Chains A and B, each alone.
Chain A
């Protein structure tokens, strides 16, 4: 009996320490985010760093985000056609495709692809700078590493993600249109007409808001884990993995919350 009690107490202790650890991480992350936003609104700013990050995050993510949207849009149109045919509703392909892409798949898949590309790269770069003391070196060279390294990355991601998702939405719809007109026998003009009819400004706005929120989380996770990494090469590896995994989870969770708030009424 005492053995069972002891096991129970040990399990309770283990659970408690996990919860405490989680709360501590959330606290550290929140403080980091507040510091970043606080520094972002006051000079000095580093416009050259911001431009470089816009290029790195935005321009170089275009191919992967575009291809993802194109392929997903096509596959989505095909599945809607098959599913719709069962109850004579195959004509809903353009409407459901555009809503599915703009409201959910465009921002979410775009966000996940950029997170895979950018959050990992940020964590690896800042992590290496941390373990080779380059971040400490910035401090001794009259430069605030938060302002020089973190703020430009976070701002660039918030600014660039809506544009990327806009492209992603257009290419996603185009992927559906391409498949529908070439393989499913849709009339091109009619398809585009239906698409335009069902696309509402609210959908586009919510898509952009999601994109900006995802951009913030992507850069925040990449920078937070990189900036606080320790323990040499293995530590940088851990930081990279944690950055990507936590960015993925935050993207999916915040997407759900925004969807429920905007469309759940």
Chain B
């Protein structure tokens, strides 16, 4: 039995008295693609930010390769964060820099090598050298997502996070991005953690699926099991029904 890549046990987090994570337990094995599903405001982003060290959990343990990482500071925290790549929901490209400088941002070395590496990573997401010198604002939403994906994989992180990778894209472009994510994760052997509420994305990307509801993982299993989960919460979410045990929350967490 190998050591899990990511292991969360009893992680809790509250913001000014409001509980967002109420004890999250989650295990992701090396090279596995885990997708966390859940409605808006169920704590998906907070979970991700806790693992990344952008937020500090109130209690519980977060282990990467068996090493406790919650509570790291300074250089140890920076070293921890350097193992991750992240595709942000809005792309989060640096709009003052051209595409190639964005893609090669985390790389070091002479400019010529960094540019070559940027072109190589752009090619991996299906973009030609002609986009390298454009500014992010000159690209369409789908192209920006691809550039952001190239930037996330460029330093070859061990673990990569995808935050709502298909939000704001048309169904065809969404499928292109999903296919790219699946392909890159398999080719590069990266451990992937995705948060989404797009079921098409789940079916395309996931090896395993976990559902987060009211700050807890209420179900997890293989991708194929989501249609026969026999869990009323999962059932309602997967089929997108308004009626069911999940009631819409008015206030965000």
Q: Which residues on A are within 8 Å of B, measured CB to CB?
A: 132-134, 136-137, 139-144
Contact = CB atoms under 8 A, between A and B. Distances in A.
Interface string B183-200: 000000000000000000
Given A139-B81, A141-B105, A142-B81, A133 B52 contact: no
Interface string B59-81: 00000000000000000001001
Contacts of A134: 92-95
Q: 9 shortest A-B CB distances, which residue pairs?
A: A137-B92, A141-B106, A133-B92, A140-B86, A133-B88, A142-B106, A142-B82, A141-B105, A134-B92
B88 A137 contact: yes
Contacts, number: 42
What DSSP secondary structure best describes chain A's contact surface? loop
- B-side interface size class: 20 to 34
Nearest to A139: B81
Given A136-B86, A144-B78, 10 more contacts: A133-B88, A133-B89, A136-B49, A137-B86, A139-B52, A140-B81, A140-B85, A141-B105, A143-B105, A143-B106
A140 B84 contact: yes
Contact of A136 (B78, B88, B93, B155): B88
A141 B88 contact: no
9 contacts: A133-B88, A133-B90, A134-B94, A136-B86, A140-B152, A140-B161, A141-B151, A142-B82, A142-B155
Contacts of A143: 105-106
B54 interface: yes
A137 B88 CA distance: 7
B105 to A, nearest CB: 5
A140 B52 contact: yes
A132 B90 CA distance: 7
Interface string B142-170: 00000000011001000001000000000
A137 B95 CA distance: 12
B155 A141 contact: yes
Contacts of B152: 140
Listed residue (B49, B85, B92) with the most chain A CB atoms within 10 angstroms of its CB:
B92
A142 B95 CA distance: 18
